[in-house]
Amino acid sequence: MTQPPQLALYLVDLVAVLVLTFGLYFPRHRRRDLVVAYLGVNVGVLAVAATLASSTVGAGLGLGLFGVLSIIRLRSTELSQHEVAYYFAALALGLLGGLGATAGWLGVAGSALILVVMAVADHPRLLRRHRSQVVLLDRAFPDEAGLVAYLEQLLGAHVHSASVQRLDLVNDTTLVDVRFEVAPGGGVSASSAGDVAAALAVPSLPAARTGQVPA
């Protein structure tokens, strides 16, 4: 089987990163600054990898470059886990395009596999009822069972885990990281606090403030 020309691999990479960025990431997450980051990382890695592949240095240094880039921590803003996954997907596509002359059609297949995995793994319908939230409660819960019961009534969901991040007995607050599963068609509603008061028969039940954490 004939190997694809290097220029064709460059074009495959550019098409793949455009699909990854504008076909998958941006329509689902709408963060414009990371569009620039993903395109810049991909093209930059593609150029460096192609230069290394055409020199006497070889692919070993290219793989070392991948390792160096993989430990870079972006300090401008915090990235969620799915954004980190897109970041490494863009990086891997650039390496496959730049160093793919030796791999041939395996490089093209690897690029297609990355796109398929990202399309499926980040699909909105996949595990859509499983959520993660950091919840700040205006009440201290030293008892884990009581905390779980309160959260299930508040969120209208089955709580899988509740990890207390901070328990403040002086200010009467609890900061907890909650992993839960909402019922079909369910979700966190504005009237949940009232339902908690009725369910637990607690007079003057305090409100809760929730902040969504990306999955």
- As to burial, measured by CB atoms within 10 angstroms (0-12 exposed, 13-18 middle, 19+ buried), residue 122 is middle
Least confident window among 43-47, 48-52, 120-124: 48-52
Output the pLDDT for position 192.
46
Residue 207 is inside which H or E element, if any? none
- Which one-letter amino acid corresponds to residue 1? M
Identify which has the larger pLDDT, 71 or 22.
22
Q: What percent of the chain has pLDDT over 90?
A: 41
When the pLDDT of each residue in the chain is averaged and rounded to a whole number, the result is: 79
| Gap between the Cα atoms of 204 and 148, Å rounded | 19
Q: Which two tokens stand for residue 13?
A: 């990479």
Least confident window among 33-37, 59-63, 117-121, 177-181: 59-63
Contact, 126 vs 120, CB < 8 A? yes
